[in-house]
Amino acid sequence: MTQFIGKSVTRLDAAGKVTGQALYPGDINLPEQAFMKILFAGRPHAIVKKIETAKAEALPGVLAVFTAKDIPNNEYGLISSDQPVLCGPGSNKPYAERVRWIGDQVALVVAETEKIAAQARDLIEVEYEDLPVVTDMLAALEPDAPLLHPEKGSNVILRYRIRNGDVEAAFKQADVIVEGVYDTPMQEHAYLQPEAGLGYIDEAGRVTVIVGGQWTHEDQEQIAHALHLPLEQVRVIYPAIGGAFGGREDMSVQIVLALAAWRLQQRGIQRPVKIIWSREESMIGHHKRHPYHIKTRWGATKEGKLLAAEVELYADAGGYIYTSTKVQGNATLMCTGPYEIPNVKVDSVSVYTNNMVTGAFRGFGGPQGLFAAEQQMNKLAEQLGLDPVELRRRNLIKEGSLLSVGTPLPKGVSMGLVVEKCAERMDEIQQSRRSQPTAQAIQRGWGFACGFKNVGFSFGAPEQCSATIELHGKTEIERAVLHHAGAEVGQGSHTAFVQFAAEALNMPLETITLVASDTAVTASSGSVSASRMTFMAGNSIKGACAQALEQWAQGERPAIATFLYRPPATTPLDPETGKCDPNFSYGYVAQAVEAEVDTETGFVRLINVLCADDVGKAVNPQQVQGQIEGAVVQAAGYTLLENMIQRDGRLLTDKLSTYLIPTILDIPENVESIILEYADPIGPYGARGVGEMPFLPLAPAVTAAVHAATGVWFDEFPLTPERVLRGLGKLKD
């Protein structure tokens, strides 16, 4: 029986955040700080011929203007260093002379005030040679398409393929074949806190950045690489962070803040530099969720046994790679859903275009691939005359099942149990109903979808997490200090860290001090992404505590132990067959959605969302519930509201007045979190991840509910009133 794990203890940061005492990067001020503004390219594809900064530099109050020539190693990138820090002539990287999307950064201005910095930025004169723009990802694959990176010879970033079984022979045996073409949209992260931070030289002479991010040590490495500095000369600190969802995995202001502070020092000016992006700058300047174009056909027997699936996936990466390769890997795996399908053929490709760049976002390719898979399953159920849940029962992955990539799932597969629990609750609600809406235009329906999501890095990416524990006291342990770099981006990770330590040490929570997210005093934890941090941090903290207790028993005072946790290794997709061990752990989810459709206005309202998640062990049940509800609301925005509009590579919906996210009036009437705890065999106290799972199935569950209400399938979203009315035949082009 656990003492601290499984309890809804109060979050460590609760009081500070509700009283306004918690400091986010934009709230922090240092003596004599200067202010920075960034000149964005504002055009999707061009050569930067010339940058004139004299007028900006002459403006009173301007301290410096920096361009590409000021960066020692003008490149960065989480997966591949294919992106310039600043675009323009004079760089040591020839490809830096080109801008490839409107959010490319061209120049930095540092001034006494934010107002002066903005005025000076607008005085910078840039001469561009505009280049042909490619915004259609399929057109970008044509032989004569304009190339964004001519040195690569193609707009193709990467191709993956899966070849398992004999797909064509299986289709000949199929009694029913369903084909579909699906399009999933871009999505803005829209976190509460826009990008902001401070750069300065600390007391040890280190280039230091206070910023919001998801991986302090990766930020440190990216900064050191671009400035060509030793790693120990760079320090990254995370204060309170107002949301992330993958949007803070890649660089935004980290490198340019470090650059400004460092270059100012070289000019004899040692002053902190601060920046706060506006919401418009945030929407222009960072990556989005990948839009996908998916073609697929599935075959099944008349008894409802899946025989074959063939899928083509196309992902729009925008101008740079960011994390497209990993997103593509997940989509490639998830596009056949949580099902045993003996014959699978998948071809997927990520493509450069001049649209907004795309990268990590909650679900990481899972929502896009799963939308196509679950649409196919619900359409198959309709054609076969089977209940959608029953069709799933006959095909769900289970212990020992082989994935499409030809290897078995890790032990602890609970997909069937999760589906049953969700379906049971849906049946209870349906049976308790006595009436339906009375308005003739209002139609209601239920939809069902399910899926699974990796916990941790995938496809051979290096995976590890460190924790350090100090035990202090004389004869008995009086207090403990936990050092951990894992970021707190609003999900409650730091509270869970202390719960893990308290459990492992059998000490009260209040006797444990957490030192977190500072590269100077914490070892690398890896990223707060891929639903991994609870799993990875828990195992690292357990290991560190065990070692520290052993040292204490041997008489060491204080006892200090660092433990590096490494999970089972994963392997990359084989280039010909796709065979691999993609992930070491998964979480499992099922959702039932009741939707109401106004057939006169096209408005879709979510009445009930039942979300069953196997989290292995709910370390803090209240926080788990918060993750589920937050993911459902964010997925509802993705499915119904968030319509990102671009034209010729320019973003038209660059404000929250034109890009609509859910408000309190838009969220589902009822979100019921069904928290299931089937222990992961290698998870800390059985815990799995939960951050992404509840997001994955919502879109296909909603489209299934809308189909049940109206008889119309919608194969693309968001389901704006205009799109719904057009689908119902009530609005013409």
Domains of the chain: 14-21+459-565 (3.30.365.10), 25-132+211-275 (3.90.1170.50), 292-458+574-727 (3.30.365.10)
User: What per-residue confidence (pLDDT) applies to 108?
Assistant: 98
Report the pLDDT value the prediction gives residue 437, as an integer from 0 to 100: 63
Cα–Cα distances in Å, from 603 out to 53, 211, 549, 678, 720? 51, 40, 59, 38, 7
Q: In the 8-state DSSP scheme, what is residue 72?
A: T
| Amino acid occupying residue 318 | G
Query: For residues 730 and 668, is the Cβ–Cβ distance under 8 A?
Result: no
3-state SS record for 315-328? EEEECCCCCHHHHH
Cα–Cα distance for residue pair 84/93, rounded to 1 Å: 8
Instruction: Compute the C-alpha angle 340/346/347, nearest 5°.
Output: 165
- Closest among 36, 26, 520 to 262, alpha carbons compared: 36
- Cβ–Cβ < 8 Å for 589, 334: no
Region at 265 (left for phi over 0; alpha for psi -120 to 50; beta for the rest): alpha
What beta strand segments (E) does 238-323 contain? 273-276, 292-300, 306-318
Residue pair 591/694 in contact (Cβ under 8 Å)? The answer is yes
Task: Spell out the residues 6+ positions from residue 151 whose beta carbon is closer than 8 angstroms to its own.
Answer: 95
And the tokens for 540?
């690292």
Question: Cα(277)–Cα(197) distance, rounded to whole angstroms?
Answer: 9
Phi/psi of residue 555, each to 5°? 100, 5
Q: How far apart are CA 429 and CA 233, in angstroms?
A: 60
Quick one: CA dihedral 711, 716, 718, 724, positive or negative? negative
10-residue mean pLDDT series, the chain (733 residues) = 93 96 97 98 98 98 98 95 96 93 98 98 98 98 97 97 98 98 98 97 98 98 98 98 96 98 97 98 97 98 98 98 95 98 98 98 98 98 98 98 98 98 97 74 96 97 97 96 97 98 98 98 97 98 98 97 98 98 98 98 98 98 98 98 98 97 95 98 97 98 98 98 96 76
**Are 116 and 279 a contacting pair, CB within 8 Å?**
no
Contact in structure between 147 and 153 (CB atoms under 8 Å): yes
The answer to whether 521 touches 470, Cβ cutoff 8 Å, is no
Please tell me the predicted confidence (pLDDT) of residue 449: 98
pLDDT at site 446: 98
Phi-psi region of 575 (alpha: psi -120 to 50; beta: other; left: phi over 0): alpha
Prediction pTM value: 0.97
The CA-atom distances, in angstroms, between 460 and each of 329, 454, 457, 524, 584 are 11, 13, 8, 18, 10
Q: What is the CA radius of gyration of the chain?
A: 26
Among 531, 436, 28, 452, which residue's Cα sits nearest to residue 240? 28
Q: Using CA atoms, how far apart are residues 318 and 99, in angstroms rounded to an integer?
A: 12
For residue 84, the model assigns a pLDDT of 97
Asked whether 193 and 394 are in contact (CB, 8 A), the reply is no
Asked whether the beta carbons of 510 and 518 are under 8 A apart, the reply is no
In whole angstroms, give the CA distance from residue 373 to residue 337: 5
DSSP letter (8 states) at residue 430? H
| Angle of CA points 484, 242, 718, to nearest 5° | 120
